[in-house]
Structure 1
C-alpha cells in the first residue's frame, strides 16, 4: 500500500524486452532496498528482483502491466516517480493508493494558474465514472485532488488537476508534454461502492 506522496525521482538505465515482458533497471537512490520489496514506479506496484547498495534496482514488468500502464513507453534516461510502501506508523498525507493502475490518461493542456499549473487530461469514460470533483486520484503515482471533471463525450472525459510548484519540482510531471500518457489509479473506495450497490441476483 502507498500514499501517493512521491519520495524520489528515479532514472531508467536499461530496459530489456523478454517476449511480451520487460526487465526494468533503475537508479533509485535507495541504498537499503530488500529483495522482494514493493516499490511504486510511476504509481505501479513492482517487486524488487535484484538490487545493489548504490541504489540500482531491477524490476520485472508483466504483459498485463505493460498493457495497462505507461511503463512500456519508458526509455533509458527517463525519470520515474518512486515511492516505497507505507509503514503502519506513517502519516497518510495523500490517500490510499494500491499501486494497481487502472489505465492511462493523456495530457491535453498545461495552463499557468497563479504560480501553479492547471493540467487537463483526457481520461477514458470507464475510469471517469469513478472521479468526482474534490475527490482523490493517483496520476503516475502522485496523490492529487480532482479540480474538475466533464461528462464523457465519445468515450473520453476531461479531468483537471492543479499542480503546486513543490509537486512540479519533485515529480516527473516537470518533464511531461502534451500527448504524454500518465498512469491512472482511481479511488478504490469508489469501485467498492459501485460493486456493493449493484442489485443482488434473483434466485
Structure 2
C-alpha cells in the first residue's frame, strides 16, 4: 500500500532479459533499509525488490518486470535511462499525506495539453473510456505514482474523458510530472474509493 507521495526520482541503469525483464534502478536510498522482498512503487507500479546494493545516497535496487506489467503500463517507462517516481511501501504509523494507492495501474493516459497558470502548470490528460466513470472533479487520481487532485473533467463523444490537473512548482520539481510533454503516456490508477462506489452503483441498478 502507498500514498502517492513520491520520495525521490530514480533511473533505470540496466535491463536484463531473463524471460521477464530484470531492471536495475539507481536511487538515493540507504540500501541497508531496502529489504529483499520489499515493495517499491515505480511510477505507480508496485514492484518487488529482488536485489540491492551501493551506499546510502548512491544505491540501487533490482526488480523483475513481467511482460504483462509492461503491456499494461506506459511503455516508455521501461527503457534504460528512464526516470521513475519512487515510493517505498507505507509502514504502519506513517503519515497518509496523499490518498490510498495500491500500486496497481488501471490504464494508460496521454498528455493532451500543457498551460501555465499562475506559478503552476495546468496539465490535461486523456483517460480511456473504461476509466472515465471513475474520474470526478475534486477526486483523487494517481498519475505515474503521484497523488493528484482532479480539477476538471470533460467527457468526450467516444466515451473517453479529458481531465485537468494543477501542478504546483514543488510537485513539478520532485517528480517526473514536471517533464511531461504533449503526447507522453502516463500510468493511471483511479481512487480505490471510486472503484467501490461504482460497484455499489452497478449493484443498486440491478436491484
Q: Tell me the TM-score range normalised by the shorter chain.
A: over 0.9
Contact 2:22 2:64 in 1 (8 A): yes
1:125 Cα offset (Å): 1.4
SS in 2 for 1:193: helix
> What residue in structure 2 maps to residue 43 of structure 1?
44
SS in 1 for 2:25: strand
Single out whichever of 70-79 and 129-138 deviates more from structure 2: 70-79
Structure 1: runs of 5 or more not aligned: none
Q: Where does 1:180-199 land on structure 2 (aligned, <5 Å)?
A: 180-199=184-203
1:83 aligns with 2:87: yes
Distance in 2, matches of 1:48 and 1:190, equals: 30
Structure 2: runs of 5 or more not aligned: none
1:88 Cα offset (Å): 1.7
> What residue in structure 2 maps to residue 34 of structure 1?
35
Q: Deviations along 1:18-63, whole A, 9 cap, x unmatched?
A: 44x3211100211221100000000110000111143211111112
Single out whichever of 157-166 and 60-69 deviates more from structure 2: 60-69
Q: Where does 1:86-105 land on structure 2 (aligned, <5 Å)?
A: 86-105=90-109
1:155 Cα offset (Å): 3.7
Q: Deviations along 1:166-191, whole A, 9 cap, x unmatched?
A: 00000011222211111000011111
SS in 1 for 2:135: coil
Contact 2:3 2:90 in 1 (8 A): yes
1:174 aligns with 2:185: no
Q: TM-score, normalised by structure 1?
A: 0.93
Q: Deviations along 1:73-112, whole A, 9 cap, x unmatched?
A: 4322221100001112111110000001101110111100
Distance in 2, matches of 1:185 and 1:161, equals: 14
> What residue in structure 2 maps to residue 3 of structure 1?
3
Q: TM-score, normalised by structure 2?
A: 0.91
SS in 2 for 1:126: coil
SS in 1 for 2:3: coil
RMSD between aligned residues: 1.8
> What residue in structure 1 maps to residue 23 of structure 2?
24
1:72 Cα offset (Å): 5.6
> What residue in structure 1 maps to residue 53 of structure 2?
52
Q: Does the C-alpha gap of structure 1 residues 89 and 150 become closer, same or farther in structure 2, counting only changes over 3 Å?
A: same
